[in-house]
Amino acid sequence: DEAKLDRIAAVIEAYWPQAIASGDLASPALLRDVRRARAALLEALGLSELL
């Protein structure tokens, strides 16, 4: 459905980094950002029970 795709796109644009450097893979900041992005995506999809 188009509205769901728009919500997904908005979350990705707002929360996901444009790129991840290999040196950042062990970064606590990256882990925090990825967890925040996942939570936002699950909320946008009405799947907050998976948090």
Closest CA to 30 of 13, 15, 45: 15
Averaged confidence pLDDT in the chain: 95
The whole-number pLDDT of residue 12 equals 95
Q: What's the predicted TM-score (pTM) here? A: 0.83
% the chain with pLDDT above 70: 100
**Coil, strand or helix at 34:** helix
Confidence band of 27 (pLDDT split at 50, 70, 90)? very high
Confidence band of 23 (pLDDT split at 50, 70, 90)? very high
How far, CA to CA in Å, does 5 sit from each of 20, 46, 49? 23, 13, 20
Domain ranges of the chain: 2-50
